[in-house]
Amino acid sequence: MDEYKAPVATTPTPTPGGNTSGAGETNGWLYTVITLSLLVLVIILWRANQGLKRVANEKEGIPTEKEIPLYRSKLVIAVVAIVIFIMAGYWLVNGAVNEGRQQNYQPLQPIFYSHKVHAGINQINCLYCHAGAEKSRQAMIPSTNICMNCHKQINTYSGEGEHPLVTAEGKNINGTEQIQALYRYAGWDPVKKDYNRDAAGNILATPIQWVKIHNLPDHVYFNHSQHVKVGQVQCQRCHGDIQEMDEVYQFAPLSMGWCINCHRQTEVQFTNNKYYDIFETYHKEIKEGKRTGVTEAEMGGTECQKCHY
């Protein structure tokens, strides 16, 4: 641990408690303070009202009942107990259900690599880097030499004017420095225009340790090619507008309900598809006009063993 040098040294680390709290949070505090002070005011006015009533009653000679203090009133105790029970139950159940999920997770990556610059502004196809998405279960993260296919030539970032790079915490990023960081990982010498090698001729490269963002539990089987190639589902439906993101975050909850809901709502490419020829009843119903399409759920997309094997 002592000898470990963080690879994030090239990107400025966010300062905890920096300018991360947005305007929304400040407003939240303001509302809480206002609500609490109004509540106190209500209690004071209520007590004053009670006092005035008692004085008025004494004047007219009506005997007043002995007053029970607020904290011993059965009604107050019951209401408070029920509210605490409901709130605690809600937090407990909600917390347990969301255990291990990480929607909106946006870790700091070792290189500030922007999807907006690559897939958005420069229109590089997702599959150029995530070639597995069409062919296999894993979409895959590209290896460093795929970056170097382009970056042997592109050694500066010239887009600062039209698209300045800024982290989620508001820190400015120098794109050219980030490309230099890529060179250090790749073992590329931009002056020599060649890779640095050891005596035996091996390239002196270190892998870029990208932080994995999406993590389904091991008991779930998810296959990209089933969705991207067969189902023709757009990447953006599950990952959001990646081509607009400088730093990727987890867009979908990756909960079981999220998978199932989409299977219930999405129709498969049913006609002219040999794979589905055997479903004679559905084909007959479509021919007779009894149904317009077949959803993934009707193909078995809600059967437990399709996702849990």
Q: List binders of ligand HEC among 155-184 (CB under 6 A).
A: 156-159, 165, 175, 178-179, 182
CB of 168 to ligand HEC, least distance (A): 12
Burial class (CB in 10 A: 0-12, 13-18, 19+), 208: buried
* Residue numbers 81-100 binding ligand HEC by CB under 6 A: 100
Q: Measured from the CB atom, is 187 or 239 closer to ligand HEC? A: 239
What residues between 23 and 62 interact with ligand HEC by CB under 6 A? Answer: none
The residue behind tokens 């006015």 is 45
Q: Which two tokens stand for residue 141?
A: 């993260």
Q: CA of 279: how far to CAs of 238, 244, 267, 302, in Å? A: 28, 40, 15, 17
Q: What angle do CA 266, 253, 250 make, to 5 degrees?
A: 110
Distance CA 73, CA 265 (A): 52
d(CA 159, CA 165): 9
Shortest separation between residue 194's beta carbon and ligand HEC, angstroms: 19
Q: Does the protein bind ligand HEC through residue 154 (CB under 6 A)? A: yes
Binding-site member from 260, 283, 286, 298 for ligand HEC (CB under 6 A): 260
Q: By rule CB under 6 A, what count of residues binds ligand HEC?
A: 83
Residue from 26, 39, 220, 293 binding ligand HEC (CB under 6 A): 220
Query: Does 186 engage in binding with ligand HEC (CB under 6 A)?
Result: no
Site for ligand HEC in 288-307 (CB under 6 A): 296, 299-304, 306-307
How far is 208 from 145, CA to CA, in rounded Å?
11
**Does position 264 bind ligand HEC by CB under 6 A?**
no
Name the phi and psi angles at 28, rounded to 5: -55, -45
Counting beta carbons within 10 angstroms of the beta carbon of residue 188, is it exposed (0 to 12), middle (13 to 18) or buried (19 or more)?
Answer: buried
The two three-digit tokens of residue 236, written as one number: 């953006």
Establish if 139 lies at the interface with ligand HEC (CB under 6 A). yes
Beta carbon of residue 97, minimum distance to ligand HEC (angstroms, whole number)? 6
Give the integer Cα–Cα distance in Å for 38 and 71: 20
Contacts of 197 (CB under 8 A, 6+ apart): 187, 203, 204
Which tokens hold the place of 117? 């610059």
Query: In this chain, which stretch among 38-46, 69-77, 191-199, 215-223 interacts with ligand HEC, using CB under 6 A?
Result: 215-223
Least distance (Å) from ligand HEC to the CB of residue 115? Answer: 6
Please tell me whether residue 195 binds ligand HEC under the rule CB under 6 A. no
- Which of 108, 266, 279, 291 binds ligand HEC (CB under 6 A)? It is 266
Decide whether 285 or 298 has the Cβ nearer to ligand HEC: 298
Q: What is the C-alpha radius of gyration for the chain, rounded to an integer number of angstroms?
A: 30
Q: Compute the least distance from the CB of residue 3 to ligand HEC, in Å.
A: 26
Residues in 102-121 that interact with ligand HEC by CB under 6 A: 109, 111-115, 117-119
